[in-house]
Amino acid sequence: MNSFQLADFEINPISERDGWRLCDFICANADHIKRYFPKTVAANLNPTLSNIFVLEKVSDFISGKEYLFTLKEPEKRKIIGLVYLKELKRAAQEAEIAYCISYDHNNKGFATKAVKTISEWGFNEQHLQRLRIIAHKSNLGSIKVAENCGYLWKETLLKEHTPPNEQPLDMELYVLQNER
């Protein structure tokens, strides 16, 4: 499996050893990410749930159903973010990228570097031709990441996402085409 060593952090495929670290990341950042990652938060509220979640995501990674990468600090190996390559449509050669970063690593460029890296991996290793990012118009950080990575606004998706205890939200679709 591919790992990517960047200057400030590393990107690794989810691993069986990530259960405790993932639980720590989710519990520390739940309020920050639960609106857009409610299923991930719900599946990682304690170490037992996290270990089950990790085993499922490792299986998904191996089978090619979905790819979950962790962003880790190189020294302490603490998880500081996640990047999913999901909703793969192999026949159409497209997928969605979703990402979250810890509240204390916001606005430092980590999410942009990670999304660029996984976008390139999706094009080069998974032979995808089109990647999507779906973000709410109020999530300016996510929109900035999409735009910094070359994704272009395509359209508003009506009632695309329903956060916990909220009405469905219209979401903005950003698209990146493989130029190769």
DSSP secondary structure of 61-114 = HHHTS-EEEEEE-TTT--EEEEEEEEEEETTTTEEEEEEEE-GGGTTSSHHHHH
Is residue 1 scored above 90 in pLDDT? no
**Pairing mode, if any, of strands 94-101 and 152-161?**
unpaired
pLDDT of residue 179: 81
pLDDT of residue 123: 96
pTM of the model: 0.94
Question: Would you tell me how many other CB atoms lie within 10 Å of the CB of residue 92?
Answer: 10
pLDDT of residue 76: 87
- Token pair 């204390």: residue: 104
CA 164-110-149 angle, to 5 degrees, is 85
Average pLDDT, the chain: 94
Return the SS3 of 21: helix
Query: Tell me, what CATH number does 13's domain have?
Result: 3.40.630.30
pLDDT of residue 75: 84
Is residue 42 scored above 90 in pLDDT? yes
Q: What is the pLDDT of residues 78-112, one digit of tens each?
A: 999 999 999 999 999 999 999 999 999 988 899 99
pLDDT of residue 23: 97
**Count of domains observed in the chain:** 1
Q: What is the pLDDT of residues 114-165, one digit of tens each?
A: 999 999 999 999 999 999 999 999 999 999 999 999 999 999 999 999 999 9
pLDDT of residue 8: 85
**Structural domain harbouring 161:** 4-177
